[in-house]
Amino acid sequence: MRIACQCKVRNDLAIAIPEALLSAREYRGRVECIRDLTGDIKELRIALLDPQTIEFVPGQYIQLEAPAYGDNPEPVFRAYSVSSPPDDNGHVELIIRLVPGGICTTWVFEHLKEGDEVRLTGPYGQFRLSETQREMVWIAGGSGMAPFWSIVRHMKRHNIARKTTYFFGSVRKADLFFLDELSALAKELPWFEFVPALSGNDGDWSGERGLITDVVARRVSDSADVEAYLCGSPGMIDAAIKVLHDKGVGDDRIFYDKFA
């Protein structure tokens, strides 16, 4: 499947617009807090000013505007998954990784300050939990944490007790974040298991080691009747899909957001 901007139209066609897309609108907000999560990942907490609340489904994303600055002559929008739960509807939280040369991420890391006003639009996207009760496997790395941090807190608050194993991969221990919070949730919620893994050689790590897809291959049983939710780089997503196919998980049970 290709997104619209990748398609060449040669004949007349009919376009169906999802109803959820019609609820997207423009928001004005103020940056309430900027927090370093790792050396190259920041969390933004934005208080909404106009309108003052937002309705979204956990897993959806917004578009954040980076204004003209430096050698960037015009505003640009970039998509970021919302990491806050829907009940906190007066705020939007985002987890943003620095992309070398990235227009929006460079602005966030080098120019954006607490107290600044920002413009965003949304919500968008179809990445969300299905309505089944099937066991879930979540696979993510880096800023791919964002939708799952929203979803797991929404599940806790609304007593959605679906068995879930969350695999989160990093290179170094210093690249992990929300480790204490997710470990605490795993102790509190009998249906939730958190499996962080390191692919590097940190000596003081007693958890899983290897690429996160290798950990999934070891931990998920063959012919597992699970749904898989993935969020991360295209390379990680493609590798995870291959592992899941090898485990007998069909495309109809694999849902993902790719971060280019």
| Distance between CA atoms of residues 121 and 132, nearest Å | 30
Domain with CATH 2.40.30.10 in the chain: 20-124
Domain with CATH 3.40.50.80 in the chain: 135-258
Dihedral through CA 224, CA 230, CA 232, CA 236, nearest 10?
Answer: 30
**Which CATH architecture fits 135-258?**
3-Layer(aba) Sandwich (3.40)
Does 51 sit behind a cis peptide bond, omega within 30 degrees of 0 on the bond before it? yes
Residues with pLDDT less than 70, the chain: 1-7, 17-22, 258-260
Tell me what pLDDT residue 1 has: 41
Topology classification of domain 20-124: Elongation Factor Tu (Ef-tu); domain 3 (2.40.30)
Tell me what pLDDT residue 22 has: 66
Tell me what pLDDT residue 204 has: 87
Tell me what pLDDT residue 12 has: 83
**Residue 9: partners with Cβ closer than 8 Å, 6 or more residues away:** none
CA 129 to chain centre: 13
pTM for the predicted model, two decimal places: 0.89
> Measuring CA to CA, which residue among 21, 179, 186, 46 is closest to residue 116?
46
Q: How far is CA 3 from CA 6, 8, 73, 125, 244, in A?
A: 6, 11, 26, 12, 24
* Tens of pLDDT, residues 213-243: 999 999 999 988 999 999 999 999 999 999 9
Element (H, E) at 109: helix 103-110
**Residue 87: partners with Cβ closer than 8 Å, 6 or more residues away:** 154, 157
Tokens describing residue 43: 């969390």
